[in-house]
Structure formats: structure tokens, C-alpha cells
Chains A and B, each alone.
Chain A
Amino acid sequence: MANLKELSQRTVKFTAGHRACAGCLPAVALRQVTLSADYPIVVGFATGCMEVVSTIFPYTAWNVPYIHVAFENVAAVMSGVESAYKALKKKGKINEEIKFIAFGGDGGTYDIGFQALSGMAERGHDVLYICYNNEAYMNTGIQRSSATPFGAQTSTTPVGSVEFGKKQFPKDLTQIMVAHGIPYVAQASVHNWKDLNMKVEKALKIKGPKFINILAPCTLGWRYPAEKGIEIAKLAVETCVWPIYEVENGKYKINYKPREKKPVIEWLKTQGRFAHLLKPEYQHLVEEIQKEVDRRWEHLLELAGT
């Protein structure tokens, strides 16, 4: 695994000068993932905030071949790119070893791009799919997605006199990808660069479809001060709201187990999208969230055999 010094000496593939917000952690995820890839890579991107901020013609932040086609199809596009690679390599037209990385936000991955992702996984394309998960449609103005947490206020789940925000718990996409039986699935968080680097390096060495779901806080959508993002990402892991783990050929490994699991309220109170839940009348919702977080964590422990 590359150490910090080695990483710092690599040519940056996702360069500075893009137009992401101050404190944007999806941008950090992109930089870390591409830096961890010590190969020539081709990047595919689903429509989303990171696509929009990184390529406003005639500028580009991409120092590697990059393609954006549409919102729901990056997995299909990269299936095609990887198939072209196989065909041209077979014909001797390409000799280099190239790796393929598809990026999508949670909207482009959990929701509209899910079918294409499932298809790519089933067909076994040699592509690493990265979901930078900021838990809502941030590009279009913070609408709820199936990754949005229970109780969160978004533009389409506003809090009103009779509504408390999103009424459903997020879909567990990482588990769904595990169920595809692909060789490598992981959850990671932007605050733990070492863990993320290890996962990307490992994934790129494995042939076949790989999926990494990275929690990447959004300062605008989650409503917290720009400098607090990394702390909040860390809290998600400490509270077990977002466990970091990997599943290699079906075998689970939890990469970090908090010595003392923090109560979920610690996580909720850092973000404006949950501010209403701190009111006494919503106490029962916080309890409900705690219960679900506990249930999922216990289930994960069980899967990991610990």
C-alpha cells in the first residue's frame, strides 16, 4: 500500500481548479480514489455535481481520459469502454494495462443508474464502480434519494406541520451489491484516507466488477460549516451509521470497530438537515433511528462472524 509520501509524489489525475464548493468532500473522494490508482485509468462519470464542477467546456480537471454520457448509464458506458479494451487488446492494437473506474453519486447509483450497475456487475466487466454517496441529489438542489437517511430534511422532504422529513430508511446498496456475488464490495469514508487507499488498490488488482460505496458529506446539503466535513464523516463511522467494511469473495471484514459506539444523536446534531429531530416532540424518531442503526450494525457483525 502506498504511504502518504508516495501518494503525494504521484501525478494528480483529478486536478485542482475545478469548481466544487469549499469543503466539498466528494471532490476529496475523487482525488483520493484516482491518486490510489497507480495505473493508466479511464474514468467514466454519471451526471451529477462532480461531473458538473469538473468539466465546464473548455476547461477540465481531468488529467486522464474521461467520459460523461448521461445520468443513469455510466455502468453501461464503462461496460462498453472495457469491452472495447478487451477487443482491441486481443487484436494487438493496445498493449498497456489500463484500469477502468466508473463514478456516480448516490442518485446516479442507488436510483436511476441502478439497473445499469446491476447489469455491469452481472456481466462481470472489469470495472471499479465508485459511488460517492452524499445522500441526496445535491446537483439538482438537495432532493431526497433512496440513500437519504430517515428523518433528513431535503428539498422534496421538507419538514412541515405534519411531516418530519424523509420517512424511509436508506436502501442498503452495499449489501445489494454483495448479493450480486461480485469479487469485491466495500464501504469506505472520506475521513479515513488510508482505508480508502487500501480498498482502491486492492480492488484494482482484482479482475471483474468491484463496487466501493464512499460516504462523502456535502456541506450544502447536510448543512454544516465547510470545515467540519471530515469530522462528520468520522462520526458516521464512530456511531455505526456508516460502518466501513469490505467483502472479498463473499468474506466480510469490518475495517473499523469503534471501541465505544457513540449514540446516533451525536451524528444527528452536527447537521442542519436533522436539526428538527432535536426537538422533544421528535425524540421517538431519534430512538427509531438508533434502533435501525443498531439492527444494521448487529447484522453486519453477524455477517462478519464476530
Chain B
Amino acid sequence: MKVMALTGNEAVAEAMRQINPDVVAAYPITPQTELMHRFTEFVADGLVDTEMVLVESEHSALSATVGASAAGARAMTATSSQGLALMWEILYIAAGLRLPIVMPVVNRALSAPINIHGDHSDTMGARDSGWIQIFSENAQEAYDNTIIAVRIAEHPDILLPVMVTMDGFIISHTMERVEVLDDDVVKNFIGEYNPKYKLLDVKNPVTMGPLDLQDYYFEHKRAQAEAMENAYKLIKEIDEEYYKISGRRYSYVEPYEIDDADIILISLGSTAGTIKDVVDELRLKGLKVGGLKIRVYRPFPRDEIKEFLSNASVVGVMDRAIAFGSPCGPVCLDVKASLQGTSLSNLPIVNYIYGLGGRDITPKDIIKIFNELEKVRISGEVPNLPRYVGVRGEENYIEQKAKLKIKN
């Protein structure tokens, strides 16, 4: 093990160097670019055996990765934002073909208006595409998750592609202390990739991606849903194995100061770190607050959500994306759906939409959120529509609504 000072992008590139994929396809997009700069340096210096395919679009990046993976190679690509949006068609195909591709996604806002900074709109748009999604709080987690993702994707009872995300710039471009495992430890952990079916096995020809009509399509999709359920069961075993080689124990969710917490704030990615600091600060003042970070967003950790919210009086859910036209943000929707029909059906939940286009979320903002949740706890009055945090004009907007006697 060695300790290095790495940005999130560099940490993931380091993980990729150790994974040593057979094929990597890439197309430049901010803020993912530096990840591939670093990785192509490894290629240039002969530190990996990877065939680089520097394609002419993200659509082709994922298509080439799909081809390489189907051929029988360990294949990766990485992207952000518009790149992920352009891949959308092939995301579903990669999952439907059950190809264990690992793709780091450096989260960035979606156009329009064009914006290069971090929010979760890009991956949230792909949340139902059949990919496993793992969110990283910092550079260390981005590194660890990338290595773990290989094992999850390639598990014979899963065989699904995995996105490992980190917040654009906030994590991707911030230098942190990262513990990097020894190369051979990673090599042993991920093992050799030897899929059952591969195009390059010319003696045993298979047809991949056939037309599949009313008589079988549904069964194949049902099996894909089952693979996601298998992932939900098996990820913890792989995380446990990783703990043994790294000393870092991960799970679907990470509770923080939750045991006696009345108020729990749920979040993904880098914001979870900020929430931990605020929790510490408020705890010193005697407030019973806690944080719950969702690490594995797909498959959604419905049981853990139930378990860790069971003693809460009120819950806030942070969404760094808008699900336009939906009653609340995507994370909140999943949390609410997980509690529906359980003893926690009536747990007050407030949705906070924040940080779009890379807008900072500060400890002050989070203190305000906890204070508001405390008011909700006392008054029992729960806003049923999302609250927008740190957006210009929001206060006036709420006042105006109050004048017009619009509820929420």
C-alpha cells in the first residue's frame, strides 16, 4: 500500500492502471478529460497492456466498449454529462447484452443551458437503464469503487455494467490523500476475465443481439431484473472481500451518527462529506441529527433505507437533479417508494433540490436544512413539494406563494 496525493480523476486512472483493461475506448468531455489524460500516459509509458480506441464520439466509445466486451475482453470507458446522454441508446444495449463493462462517470450538469460543473442530472437520467450505479464521496472511494465494480460487474450471477460516479470538479479535480493498494493485490482481487460466451471463440459461434420479439423479449428483460436483484444480494459479499484486502469497509449505505438521530439527512456523493461535518457541529450543540449516504444507488438499497430510518422522526432527502414533472427528485422518489406500505409510511420526508450546475452547497445551507427539518418535526407540517436550496429568488417565491395561499 502507498499513500498518494491524487485528484478524483487521477485516483480512478490509478485504479484503471491496476485493473489493466484489455481495451479502453475514450472520447474527450469535461470534466472526465483528465482521467483519460492520465490513463493514456500509462499507455504511452507501457505501464498497461491496454488497446486504446480513441473514437469519434461517446456513442462510438460505448459501442466499441460493447464490441470489445462481447469479444471477450475486459473493457472500460469513461464519460460525463452530454457524453453519457449521447450514449443513452447503447447504455440499455450494454445492460441488455449483459456485458460487464465498468464506466467511471464524472458527474456534470446537462444542457441547456450548457454548464460544465457537477450535478447528478446525467447519471440520474440513466438510473433505469439497467446499469448498477455506485456513487463516490471522495477520491478514495472513487478509487475503491472502481476496483470493486469490476468484481460486481463480472460476477456470473450478475453480469451487468457498472457506473462508478464522482462529482465533477468537486471530486474529480480536487487533490486528496488516497491510499493505493499494491498492484498485485488488485490483480489478485479482480482475477482473470474469462467470460462463458465470447465472439472471439470462433469454434463455438454465438449470435449476440438477435431480434427478440413478443415470444421471448419479456423473459430476457425479466432475467435482467433478476440480475439486478442478485446484485443487491451479492454486492455486500464483494465489499466484504474488499475490506479484507484494503481495511476499508463499504456498504450499500453509510450511516453517520444515526443511532439516536431524530433528524436524518440523506445524500449522495461529495455532499455526504459536508453533511458529516455539519452533523458533528450540530451534535456539539446537542441536536440529534445524523446523515445517511447512499453509495449503491442502483440497485436501490430499499431494506437498508428502511432499517436506518426506523427511529427517525423526520427525514430530508437531498437531490442534485430535478425529475421534471415528478412529485419529487429521483432519490426522494426512491426513498418514499421504499417506505411505502411499511410502518414508516407516514414518516415525514422533505425533498431538497440543490447544487445544480455546480452551485456550491455549504455547511451553512445544510444547517438551514436541519433547522427547517427541526421545525417540521415540531410542527408536523410537511412541505409536499421539493424545496430548492441556494437558488436565487427562492425566498421571494415562497413568500409569494404564501400570499397567494398556495400550500407548500
Contact B73 A88 (CB under 8 A): yes
Asked if A116 CB lies within 8 Å of chain B CBs, one says yes
A230 to chain B, nearest CB (A): 27
Asked if A62 CB lies within 8 Å of chain B CBs, one says yes
Chain B hits for A104, CB < 8 A: none
Contact B25 A116 (CB under 8 A): no
Contact B64 A80 (CB under 8 A): yes
What 8 A-B pairs are tightest by C-beta distance, nearest first? A80-B67, A80-B64, A84-B73, A55-B210, A119-B56, A84-B71, A76-B60, A76-B63
Contact B67 A79 (CB under 8 A): yes
Contact A77 B210 (CB under 8 A): no
Contact B199 A67 (CB under 8 A): yes
Contact B93 A70 (CB under 8 A): yes
Contact B210 A84 (CB under 8 A): no
Chain B hits for A96, CB < 8 A: 202
Chain A hits for B210, CB < 8 A: 55-57, 60, 68
A200 to chain B, nearest CB (A): 18
User: Can you name the residue of chain B whose Cβ is closest to the Cβ of A102?
Assistant: B67
Contact of A84 among B200, B202, B206 (CB under 8 A): B200
A76 to chain B, nearest CB (A): 4
Chain A hits for B69, CB < 8 A: 80, 84
Contact B23 A64 (CB under 8 A): no
Chain A residues 69-117 with CB under 8 Å of chain B are 69-70, 72-73, 75-81, 83-88, 90-91, 94, 96, 98, 115-116
Contact A76 B59 (CB under 8 A): yes
Chain B residues 161-219 with CB under 8 Å of chain A are 199-202, 205-213, 216
Asked if A40 CB lies within 8 Å of chain B CBs, one says yes
Task: Tell me how many residue pairs across A and B have CB atoms closer than 8 Å.
Answer: 165
Contact of A57 among B51, B68, B212 (CB under 8 A): B212
Asked if B54 CB lies within 8 Å of chain A CBs, one says yes
With A69-B209, A87-B23 as given contacts, are A80 and B202 in contact (CB-CB < 8 Å)? no
Complex: A80 Cα to B52 Cα, angstroms: 10
Complex A-B: 27 CB contacts under 8 Å:
A40-B202, A52-B211, A57-B211, A57-B213, A64-B205, A65-B200, A65-B205, A65-B206, A67-B199, A70-B90, A72-B59, A77-B64, A80-B69, A80-B71, A81-B67, A81-B199, A81-B200, A83-B23, A84-B71, A87-B49, A87-B50, A98-B202, A116-B56, A118-B56, A119-B55, A119-B57, A123-B53
Contact B63 A81 (CB under 8 A): no
Contact A66 B71 (CB under 8 A): no
Over the window 42-81 of chain B, the binary record of Cβ atoms lying under 8 Å from chain A Cβ atoms (1 yes, 0 no) is 0000000111011111011101111111111101000000
Chain B hits for A77, CB < 8 A: 63-64, 66-67, 70
Over the window 40-65 of chain A, the binary record of Cβ atoms lying under 8 Å from chain B Cβ atoms (1 yes, 0 no) is 11101000000110011110101111
Asked if B365 CB lies within 8 Å of chain A CBs, one says no
Interface residues of A (CB under 8 A from B): 40-42, 44, 51-52, 55-58, 60, 62-70, 72-73, 75-81, 83-88, 90-91, 94, 96, 98, 115-116, 118-119, 122-123
Contact B60 A119 (CB under 8 A): yes
With A64-B205, A70-B90, A70-B93 as given contacts, are A85 and B200 in contact (CB-CB < 8 Å)? yes
Total residues of chain B contacting the partner, CB 8 A: 44
Complex: A278 Cα to B213 Cα, angstroms: 42
Complex: A13 Cα to B61 Cα, angstroms: 29
Contact A63 B205 (CB under 8 A): yes
Contact B63 A80 (CB under 8 A): yes
Contact of A123 among B54, B70, B201, B206 (CB under 8 A): B54
* Given A42-B199, A65-B200, A80-B70, 18 additional A-B pairs, CB 8 A: A44-B67, A55-B211, A57-B211, A60-B207, A65-B201, A65-B205, A67-B208, A69-B67, A70-B89, A72-B59, A77-B63, A77-B67, A78-B67, A87-B49, A87-B50, A88-B71, A88-B200, A123-B55
Chain B hits for A68, CB < 8 A: 208-210
Asked if B22 CB lies within 8 Å of chain A CBs, one says yes
Chain A hits for B93, CB < 8 A: 69-70
Contact A81 B71 (CB under 8 A): yes
Contact A87 B59 (CB under 8 A): no
Contact B71 A115 (CB under 8 A): no
With A64-B205, A87-B73 as given contacts, are A80 and B65 in contact (CB-CB < 8 Å)? yes
Contact A42 B23 (CB under 8 A): no
Complex: A86 Cα to B69 Cα, angstroms: 13
User: Can you name the residue of chain B whose Cβ is closest to the Cβ of A74?
Assistant: B63
Contact of B70 among A51, A62, A67, A86 (CB under 8 A): A67
Contact B53 A115 (CB under 8 A): no
